[in-house]
């Protein structure tokens, strides 16, 4: 083993993987809350959830930096783990990958839901705008209002 590898504690790898898993669990839980806020009309709560998610993503990035040396020397680190820890590391990695897939899928679905809601609002505004045009047209056809002058009707 090189000097850099010998300074890495294989047991620390399992600890870091547990921390990563725990952060992904929190992120998944926030994804569920996010869906609820998107489905309802609570934009202020959605923004709060998005801030919390950003904090978790920042923590994951810091943790990723700590995991980088282990990843660079993955084969040696994995081989240095006792059998029980190797099994645990493998299980944690599978769980992390499953959580990440679920989070990405939920985010993709939430993006589609937000897009559909945006389209619905745009159509509602368009309908409202069309209604205002119709109201204006009806008002013109109704003739001059009481107290109007000839200049009001022609102008």
CB–CB of 24/106 below 8 Å?
no
pLDDT confidence of 52, banded at 50, 70, 90?
Answer: very high
Residue 2 has pLDDT above 60, yes or no: no
CA distance 15 to 21: 10
Q: Please tell me the pTM assigned to this model.
A: 0.72
Walk me through the domains of the chain, giving residue ranges and CATH numbers: 3-113 (1.20.58)
Angle in degrees, CA 109, 59, 38, rounded to 5: 25
CB–CB of 4/75 below 8 Å?
no
- Residues in CB range of 19: below 8 A, 6 or more apart: 63
């Amino acid at each position: 083993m090189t000097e850099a590898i010998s300074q890495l504690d294989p047991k620390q790898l399992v600890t870091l993987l547990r921390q990563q898993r725990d952060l992904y669990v929190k992120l998944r839980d926030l994804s569920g809350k996010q869906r609820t806020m998107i489905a309802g009309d609570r934009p202020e709560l959605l923004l709060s959830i998005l801030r919390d998610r950003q904090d978790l993503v920042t923590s994951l990035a810091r943790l990723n930096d700590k995991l980088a040396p282990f990843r660079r020397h993955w084969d040696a680190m994995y081989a240095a783990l006792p059998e029980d820890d190797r099994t645990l590391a493998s299980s944690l990695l599978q769980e992390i990958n499953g959580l990440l897939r679920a989070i990405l899928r939920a985010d993709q679905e939430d993006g589609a839901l937000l897009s559909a809601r945006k389209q619905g609002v745009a159509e509602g505004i368009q309908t409202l705008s069309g209604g205002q045009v119709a109201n204006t047209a009806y008002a013109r056809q109704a003739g001059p209002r009481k107290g109007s002058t000839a200049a009001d009707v022609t102008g």
